[in-house]
Chains A and B, each alone.
Chain A
Amino acid sequence: MAVAARLTAGGRDLRALAVLLLPSAALIAFLFILPVALVLALSFTDPDVGLDNYRLLVENPALGRIFLTTLRITVVTVLVATFVGYLVAYRMLHAGPREFRFILFCLLIPLWTPILVRAFAWVALLQNNGIINGILMDLGLLDGPVRMVRNELGVLIGMIHVMIPYATLPIYSAMKGLDPRVMQAARSLGARPWSTFWRVFFPMTLPGVGTAMILVFVISIGFYVTPIVLGGGTVVMIAEYISVQITETVRWGLGSMLATVLLAVVLLFVAAFRRLTILRQGVS
C-alpha cells in the first residue's frame, strides 16, 4: 500500500517535472536538435531525393582517403595525448603543492588561449626558418631544416598539444580518487614498485584513461582550425572538407552526408568504447 502511494506520488512528481522541463526541452529541440536534423536530412534530399550522396562515399576514392586521414590523425592524437597525459597526471599526483600548481597552470594556460593563436604560434615555432629548426641547426644536429609544418607531423603536434589537458585531467582525477592504502597493501604483500604499478595502480586508473580517450577522440575527430593552419592545405581533415562543401562549392548534400557519417562514426566509437570502460568500471 505504501508502495502504491509512493508510486502515485512519484507519478505526480514526474508529471510536475515534465511540465517544468518542457520549456527548456522545447528550446533545445527547436534551436539544436531541429537544425541538426534538418542538416542531416539534407544528405538524403539535396540535390535529389535518395542515397546519391552516400553512393559517392563508395564511388569517390578521395572521400575515403579524407576519412582515413582524419581517423589516422585522430587515433595517433588519442594515443599520444593519452600517454603524455598519463605521465603528466602521474607527476601531478606525486608533486608537492607548489609543483602541482605550476603543472596545473601550464595545463590551463593553453586552454585559455584561443586555438587560432596557438596554431599560429606552432607555425612560428615549427616552420623551416622557425625557432626549433634554427636551434637544431645551430647545434649542428641538422644540416638543413626538417619539414614540421604543412604536413601531418605539424597537424599532429598542434592537435596533441591542444588535447593534452583534456587527457590529463580525467586521468589525474581517476588517480586522485584511488585509496593510497591499496598501493601500501600491495607493497606489504611483497610487490616491488614495478609490480605495484602494473598490477595494481595502472589497472585501477583504466576507467580514467578510457574517459580521457573518449574525450580526446570526440574532440579531435572534428578538429578544424588546427589542421587548416598547420596542415596548410596539404593535410585535409573531414571538418575542413565539409566546410568547403558548405561554403565554397555549395554541395550541401555532400557536406551534410559527410557530417552524418562523421556523427555516426563518433556515436559508434563512443558506444563501443563505453562498453569497454563499463567493463573496466565494473571491475573497480
Chain B
Amino acid sequence: MLEIVNLSKSYSSFHALDGVSFSIERSSFTTILGPSGSGKSTLLLAISGFVEPSAGDVRLHGKSLLKVLPEDRNFGIVFQGYALFPHLRVGENVAFPLQMRGRSRSEIHTRVRGALERVKLLDLIDRYPRELSGGQQQRVALARALVFDPELVLLDEPLSALDKNLREALRDELRRLHSEIGMTFVLVTHDQEEALELSDRVAVINRGRLEQFDTPSALYETPATRFVAGFLGKSSLIKVAVGKPSGDKILLAAGGYVFRCPARQPIATAEGLLMLRPEQIRLVDEGGTAAGNLVPGKVTDRSYRGAEIVVTLATEVGELIVRLPTGNMSAAPALGQKVLASWDEQAGWLLPAVGG
C-alpha cells in the first residue's frame, strides 16, 4: 500500500537516509526500528511530508506523494511528546481534524465520542491536556490521529516518555487497538522489545540505511547483519572458519573445536560469525556428555532476573551468554564453576564476519 522507494535525504555532507526501500501492507503493523540518530525520524518526516527527500519516492497506492502537502496526505500522526493543542479541551482536540474536513456537527459529535470511548477517555472530554497524565495525553493523541479514518497511522516514539509499567500497558492497548480497527499502523521506535512484540514487519535502520526488513522472528532468528543481531536481543558471536557444507550442515572451526550448524544460507567468505541466542545454549556439568556442539567454559558472571538467570561464560572460543530459566531448581552454576556449554546442531546462525 505504501512504498518507500530508494529514499535518500542528505543535509550538506551528512546522509540522514541512504537509499531506503521497503513497502508497507494495508492493515499491517510495521515498525521502523533504529538507534537514535539512525535516520528513522527523518524517514517518518519524509513519509508524513514534513521533510522533502533528496532522492527516491514515497508512493501510496502506486501514486507518488512527493508533491502532496502534509495536510493533504490524510495520515494520522502521533507525535513524540504528543503535540496536543494546549488551548483546546480533549474533545476539541479530537474534533480538530474533523472540523478541518468540514464534517457536520452531529457527525463530529458522534465520532469524537466514539474515538474517546475507544481509548477509554470519554469522561475526560472536557479537560485540558495539561490536566491529564502522560498516558492519558498519549491516548488523546491517538484518538485524534484515528478519528478521521486516516490512510495510515504514524506513531513517533509514542511510548518512550512513559514509565515502564505504563509503557507495557499501553503497548498491549496499542496492539488491541490495531487488531480491532484494522488500520495500517507505522511505529517508529528505538525499543527493540516494542518492535518485536507489536509488529508484523520491522524495518531496521542504521546510519541511514535499511539493514533488514522482515518479520520479528526472522530478525531475531536469522538476522542479515551483525548490527541486527546485536540490536535485537542478546547473542553470543563466535568467530569461525567456514568449512564446506556436508549434507544440510556446515562444519565450522574455532579455537581447535569443530561445530556444526545448519546450512541455511550460502556464505561466500572463509570467515564467519556463529550467532547463538542465550536461550539456545544449555549447560552440562563438567565431565558430563551431551549431544550436539560442546565447548568447555568457566562462569565469570551471573545475574538474577526473576524469571531467568543470565550466565556469562569465558570459553576458548570467546564469551558465551546463557539464559537459564529459574523455574527448574536444577540450579545455575556458581561463579567460577567449570561447565560445558552445549547447543543443538540445528541451532545457530551464520553471519558474514565483515560488514554490519
Give A contacts to B, CB under 8 Å: 179, 181-182, 184-192, 195, 199-200, 203-204, 206, 282-284
Q: Is B79 an interface residue (CB 8 A)?
A: yes
The residue of chain A having its C-beta at the shortest distance from the C-beta of B147 within the complex is A189
List B residues 63-93 near A (Cβ within 8 Å).
Answer: 69-77, 79-81, 83-87
Is the beta-carbon distance between A204 and B96 smaller than 8 angstroms?
Answer: no
With contacts A184-B77, A192-B100, A206-B87 known, what are 8 further pairs, Cβ within 8 A? A181-B79, A181-B80, A185-B79, A187-B69, A188-B70, A189-B96, A191-B71, A203-B87
Whole-angstrom distance between the Cβ of A229 and the nearest chain B Cβ:
42
Complex Cα–Cα for A149 and B326 (A):
91
Q: Is B97 an interface residue (CB 8 A)?
A: yes
Is the beta-carbon distance between B81 and A179 smaller than 8 angstroms?
Answer: yes
Complex Cα–Cα for A199 and B87 (A):
10
Q: Report B30-72 CB contacts with A as 1/0, cut-off 8 Å.
A: 0000000000000000001110000000000000000001111
Whole-angstrom distance between the Cβ of B349 and the nearest chain A Cβ:
40
Q: Is B185 an interface residue (CB 8 A)?
A: no
Is the beta-carbon distance between A190 and B83 smaller than 8 angstroms?
Answer: no
Is the beta-carbon distance between A284 and B97 smaller than 8 angstroms?
Answer: no
Whole-angstrom distance between the Cβ of B184 and the nearest chain A Cβ:
15
Chain B residues within an 8 Å CB radius of A185: 77, 79, 83-85
Is the beta-carbon distance between B79 and A191 smaller than 8 angstroms?
Answer: no
Q: Is B227 an interface residue (CB 8 A)?
A: no
Is the beta-carbon distance between A190 and B148 smaller than 8 angstroms?
Answer: yes
Q: Is B190 an interface residue (CB 8 A)?
A: no
Complex Cα–Cα for A282 and B86 (A):
9
A284 contacts which of B72, B87, B100, B145 (Cβ < 8 Å)? Answer: B87
Is the beta-carbon distance between B100 and A190 smaller than 8 angstroms?
Answer: yes
Is the beta-carbon distance between A189 and B148 smaller than 8 angstroms?
Answer: yes
Q: Report B280-318 CB contacts with A as 1/0, cut-off 8 Å.
A: 000000000000000000000000000000000000000
Is the beta-carbon distance between A184 and B79 smaller than 8 angstroms?
Answer: yes
Is the beta-carbon distance between B86 and A186 smaller than 8 angstroms?
Answer: no
Q: Report B323-353 CB contacts with A as 1/0, cut-off 8 Å.
A: 0000000000000000000000000000000
Chain A residues within an 8 Å CB radius of B80: 181
The residue of chain B having its C-beta at the shortest distance from the C-beta of A188 within the complex is B77
Is the beta-carbon distance between B77 and A195 smaller than 8 angstroms?
Answer: no
Complex Cα–Cα for A188 and B50 (A):
9
Give B contacts to A, CB under 8 Å: 48-50, 69-77, 79-81, 83-87, 96-97, 100-101, 128, 144-145, 148
15 sample A-B contacts, Cβ–Cβ < 8 Å, listed by A number: A184-B77, A185-B83, A185-B85, A187-B69, A188-B49, A188-B75, A189-B96, A190-B72, A190-B148, A192-B100, A199-B96, A200-B85, A204-B85, A283-B86, A283-B87
Chain B residues within an 8 Å CB radius of A204: 85-87
Is the beta-carbon distance between B100 and A189 smaller than 8 angstroms?
Answer: yes
The residue of chain B having its C-beta at the shortest distance from the C-beta of A282 within the complex is B128
Q: Indicate whether A188 sits within 8 Å of B81 (C-beta atoms), given known contacts A283-B87, A284-B86.
A: no
Complex Cα–Cα for A238 and B83 (A):
47
Q: Give the 7 A-B CB pairs with smallest separation, nearest first.
A: A190-B100, A189-B97, A185-B83, A181-B83, A188-B77, A283-B87, A203-B87
Of the listed residues B49, B50, B81, B86, the one surrounded by the most CB atoms of chain A closer than 10 A to its CB is B86
The residue of chain B having its C-beta at the shortest distance from the C-beta of A284 within the complex is B86
Is the beta-carbon distance between A190 and B74 smaller than 8 angstroms?
Answer: yes
Is the beta-carbon distance between B87 and A187 smaller than 8 angstroms?
Answer: no
Whole-angstrom distance between the Cβ of A280 and the nearest chain B Cβ:
8
The residue of chain B having its C-beta at the shortest distance from the C-beta of A182 within the complex is B83
Is the beta-carbon distance between A179 and B100 smaller than 8 angstroms?
Answer: no
Complex Cα–Cα for A206 and B86 (A):
12
